[in-house]
Structure 1
Amino acid sequence: MSEPIVIRPATAFDAAFAVPLVQQTIGRVGLALTGADSDTGAARAMLGFFPLRGNRLSYENVLIAARGPEPLGMLLAYPGDQAGTLDDPFRERLASLGLPAQVESEGTPGELYVDTLAVTEAARGAGVGAALLRAAAGQAQARGLDRVGLLVEDGNRAATLYARVGFRAAGTRTLAGGTYTHMVWTPPQ
C-alpha cells in the first residue's frame, strides 16, 4: 500500500524542487517577470526570490504535495489583492537591469490567485493537482476569500482538471504576449 499524498507548506529549502517546475509551467511569463532571456536564466533569478519573503515567488506562498519524502507537485498562490505589492521586487529587478519596470499583476481582488500549479511528470494523473487545488480552497477559506482564481493559456490540457474541480471561465486576459482564460472556482463551504 502506498503512502498518502500529504500537502505541506514549502520551506526555503524546497527551491531546488519548486523553481524549475514554476519556470517550466509559466514559461514566457517567467521571462517577462525576471527580465531573463532564457528559461535557465529565469529559473536562476527565481532561485534568488524563492527564499525571500514578500514576493510572489516566495516559499511562503507555496504548498508542496509529497508522498513520503518525495515531492510530487507544488501550488503557488496568494490573495489577488496583494498581487501588485508582491510584484514590486520584480519591478525593482527589471529597473536594475535597465528594462521597463512593468509587471502585469495577475491576481484579482477577492480571490486566492493560483499563480502556478505544477506536478512532476511521473505523478501526473494520480490526483496530485486536484489535492493541491483542494488545499488552495482551504487557504482561501482561511483567509476569508470565497473564490479561487487562475489563468490558463488557451490549449493547456490542465483546463480539463480545472473544469472537473469546478472552475468556470470568467473572461480572458492577455499577459506577456499570450492569451489566457481567467477561471474562477467558488468551493463549497
Structure 2
Amino acid sequence: MIRPATSQDASAVAPLLVLAMGHIAGIFAKSDQYEDAVPFFEAFFERDDNQYSYAHTLVYEENNTVLGSVTGYDGARLAELRQPVLDRLRESDPDFTPGDETEAGEFYMDCVNVRTDHQGNGIGKKLILAFCEKARQLGFKRVGLIVDKVNPDAKKLYEKLGFYVAGEKDFLGHRYFHMVREVQ
C-alpha cells in the first residue's frame, strides 16, 4: 500500500534517497561511498522543514516493510525547503551553491526509488502515479522532474507514464532532461 511517510520511516527511506540521488549523495557526504550520506538524509527526513522531509514523502509498504518512496514538493518552495540543507552543507563548504532543478508552477518529484531487491515489480510506477495524483488533488497542473542523461532506462519509464522532455538542465556536474507531465 502507498501511504504518507512518518518520521519513523527514516531508517528505511534514507537509503532509498541515497539510491535515488546517486552522485549527489556523494557530494553531500563528501565521499565516493554514497551510503556515507545515509545519516545526513535520516536527519533531514525526520524533520518537517526541508525538501527531504517525511512531510513531502509517500512510501510503498508491504508486510510492514517500506519497499519504495517518492519525495517531492511545490517547485515554488524550493529555496525555502532547500535552505536548511544548504545551511548544513555550507558548514564545511561556504560557497556550495547548487542550481535550481525545479521551478514555480510544477509539483516537483525530487527523489523516487525502490529497494534493489524489489525493483522490476511495478512499485516505482505505482509511486510515480500516486505522486501525480497527489499533485492533481493539490491543484497542480504539472508534475516535473529531472532525469540524468546517463540513465536512459529511467527516461523511458517516465515517457511510458506520460512525461515528456521540456528542456535540459545542468545540475551538480551532470546534464539532465527536465521532464514534465500534465495532471489536470
| 2:141 equivalent to 1:166 | no
Preserved CA contact (<8 Å) 1:147 1:184: yes
Deviation at 1:82, TM superposition (A): 0.6
TM-score when normalising by structure 1? 0.89
Which 4+ stretches in 1 moved above 3 angstroms? Answer: none
Q: Which residue of 1 aligns with 2:17?
A: 22
TM-score when normalising by structure 2? 0.92
Deviation at 1:98, TM superposition (A): 4.1
Q: Which residue of 2 aligns with 1:36?
A: 30
Q: Which residue of 2 aligns with 1:88?
A: 83
Distance 2:78 2:170 in 1: 16
* TM alignment of 1:67-106, pairs within 5 A: 67-106=62-101
Distance 2:48 2:171 in 1: 24
Preserved CA contact (<8 Å) 2:60 2:123: yes
Distance 1:173 1:98 in 2: 23
Distance 2:96 2:148 in 1: 24
Preserved CA contact (<8 Å) 1:92 1:101: no
| 2:135 equivalent to 1:140 | yes
Deviation at 1:125, TM superposition (A): 2.0
Q: Which runs of 5+ in 1 are unaligned?
A: 1-5
Preserved CA contact (<8 Å) 1:23 1:43: yes
Give me the CA root mean square deviation.
1.5
Q: 1:80-118 CA distances to partner (integer Å, 9 max, x unpaired)?
A: 111111110122112222431413332221111000110
Q: 1:17-60 CA distances to partner (integer Å, 9 max, x unpaired)?
A: 1111111221222234x353342332221211110111011111
**Of 163, 172, 177, which aligns to 2:173?**
177
Distance 1:158 1:13 in 2: 29
Distance 1:23 1:72 in 2: 14
Q: Which runs of 5+ in 2 are unaligned?
A: none
Equivalent pairs: percent with the same residue? 31
Deviation at 1:76, TM superposition (A): 0.6
Distance 1:12 1:43 in 2: 15
